[in-house]
């Protein structure tokens, strides 16, 4: 099975939920901290206002003032300020700062209220009342730690839920994908047994079954068309070629007439070969070769290579076979023959007299090499249909296209390289 790229849906959901959870919890932590601090400050400010009012009232009435520091660590400082100071400073001010607590003889964070007021004799008084409060930095750290623990707990919960609830809910989709993956045009299609109460998955089941049925109908129509075309076109071509051969045997023809008949015969033969190649390509593209069995490429090469060696023996072309391993490919036998023989024929046709061809077979694939007299070929074009790599009139320009289509059908790699002055066609499985 080919390695599929991309990310699993469960993993994607986990990541996105984690991102959302981080954002939501971070916002919640900020809001929670702001609310806690505001509530603490409000309560503290109320206490400070009460204490400040009591001291100011006693000061205005000339009564005895309370102790500067109380047992609750509350303390105040009352001083007289000038009118200029009173006019240049706010009369009521709240702030957080560290103050020295005399009762504990140490500095602590405190909430401080500063109040400036005018006495009856025209002088100005400034009272500073403070009371210990929470350490906001420690509060932030405590909230951060709590949020971190809560976040880890939430992430673990999300992962567990995804791999149980979501994964279980996705079973109908996985079963449908498995059914679609096993489908091959022309093969008997098994019924889809995928009950589900999820509306979207049930809808997807219906659409998939309908699509498979339409695909099978089109496949059968294409198969019938290709069969009819093969019969309707190939038969008249064969009859025409046969009649031309009969006419060419007539001793009453002069050299000019015979030459014209030879040209027509050559054209019809070329058209017949092209028709067979195009029909083969159509069948491959239509996935009409469903039969698969292990094919021994080593044995296949030994069976067909002598035929090409005999046909091209007059050109002095030698073939060197190097078996570096044993190659077995599971595919249709006729297509395996077409794959190997098209590459061999391509090498023989484009080889020059006295050249040596190399066929190297390993357990991972095989290569066919021939001498490159005109430099490298265009690797982006040589597998295109009707692309001719030379002026060879006998070539249909479809041989390498057939090779490429067969390899695509069976997910086999075929590549062209120009190496050490040679054309190298490499097939790897």
Q: How does pLDDT run across 299-333, given as a tens digit for each residue?
A: 999 998 888 888 887 888 888 889 999 999 999 88
One domain for residues 280 and 308 = no
pLDDT of residue 187: 66
Q: Which CATH number belongs to the domain containing residue 361 in this structure?
A: 3.30.565.10
Report the alpha-carbon distance of residue 374 to residue 379 in Å, rounded. 14
Do 400 and 257 reside in the same domain of the chain?
no
How confident is the model over 383-402, as pLDDT tens digits?
877 776 655 555 666 778 88
Judge whether 90 and 84 are in contact, CB under 8 Å.
Answer: no
- The verdict on 152 and 80 lying in the same domain is yes
Model confidence band, residue 1 (pLDDT cutoffs 50, 70, 90): very low
Of 237, 257, 285, which closes a domain? 285
Same domain for 301 and 266: no
160: in domain: yes
- On whether both 44 and 103 belong to a single domain, the answer is yes
Last residue of a domain, one of 231, 260, 285: 285
Q: How many domains does the chain have?
A: 3
In this structure, the answer to whether residues 259 and 309 fall within a common structural domain is no
Tell me which residue range forms the domain holding 276: 219-285
177 in any annotated domain: no
Token digits for 32?
A: 């929670």
Residues of the chain with pLDDT > 90, as a percent, come to 9
- Does 153 share its domain with 228? no
Q: Comparing 106 with 408, which gets the higher pLDDT?
A: 408
Last residue of a domain, one of 265, 285, 305: 285
Shared domain for 346 and 424, answered yes or no, is yes
pLDDT bucket at 32, cuts 50 / 70 / 90: confident
93 and 149 share a domain?
A: yes
* Same domain for 360 and 234: no
Residues 271 and 379 in one domain: no
| 330: phi then psi, degrees, rounded to nearest 5 | -90, 110
CATH code of residue 2: 3.30.450
pLDDT tens figures, 198-228: 888 888 888 888 888 888 787 777 767 766 7
């Amino acid at each position: 099975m080919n390695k599929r790229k991309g990310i699993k849906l469960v993993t994607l959901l986990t990541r996105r939920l984690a991102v959302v959870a981080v954002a939501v919890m971070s916002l919640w932590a900020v809001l929670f901290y702001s609310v806690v601090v505001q509530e603490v400050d409000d309560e503290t400010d109320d206490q400070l206002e009460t204490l400040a009012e009591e001291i100011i009232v006693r000061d205005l009435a000339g009564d005895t003032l309370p102790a500067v520091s109380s047992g609750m660590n509350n303390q105040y400082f009352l001083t007289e300020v000038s009118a200029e100071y009173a006019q240049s400073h706010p009369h009521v001010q709240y702030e957080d700062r560290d103050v020295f607590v005399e009762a504990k003889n140490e500095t602590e964070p405190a909430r401080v209220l500063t109040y400036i007021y005018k006495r009856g004799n025209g002088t100005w008084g400034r009272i500073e009342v403070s009371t210990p409060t929470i350490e906001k930095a420690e509060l932030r750290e405590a909230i951060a730690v709590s949020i971190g623990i809560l976040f880890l707990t939430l992430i673990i919960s999300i992962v567990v839920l995804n791999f149980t609830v979501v994964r279980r809910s996705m079973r109908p989709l996985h079963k449908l994908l498995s059914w679609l993956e096993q489908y091959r045009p022309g093969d008997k299609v098994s019924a889809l047994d995928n009950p589900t109460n999820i509306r979207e998955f049930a809808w997807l089941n219906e659409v998939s079954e309908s699509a498979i049925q339409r695909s099978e109908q089109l496949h059968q129509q294409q198969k019938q068309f290709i069969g009819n075309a093969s019969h309707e076109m190939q038969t008249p071509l064969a009859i025409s070629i046969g009649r031309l051969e009969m006419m060419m045997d007539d001793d009453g023809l002069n050299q000019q007439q015979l030459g014209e008949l030879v040209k027509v015969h050559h054209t019809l033969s070329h058209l017949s070969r092209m028709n067979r190649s195009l029909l083969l390509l159509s069948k491959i593209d239509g996935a009409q070769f469903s039969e698969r069995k292990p094919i021994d490429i080593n044995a296949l090469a030994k069976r067909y290579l002598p035929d090409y060696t005999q046909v091209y023996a007059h050109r002095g072309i030698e073939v060197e076979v190097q078996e570096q391993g044993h190659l077995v490919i599971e595919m249709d036998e006729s297509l395996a023959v077409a794959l190997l023989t098209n590459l061999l024929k391509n090498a023989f046709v484009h080889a020059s007299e006295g050249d040596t061809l190399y066929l190297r077979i390993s357990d991972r694939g095989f290569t066919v090499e021939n001498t490159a007299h005109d430099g490298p070929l265009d690797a982006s074009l040589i597998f295109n249909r009707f692309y001719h790599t030379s002026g060879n009139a006998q070539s249909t320009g479809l041989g390498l296209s057939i090779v490429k289509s067969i390899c695509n059908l069976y997910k086999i790699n075929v590549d062209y390289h120009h190496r050490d002055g040679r054309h190298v066609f490499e097939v790897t499985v």
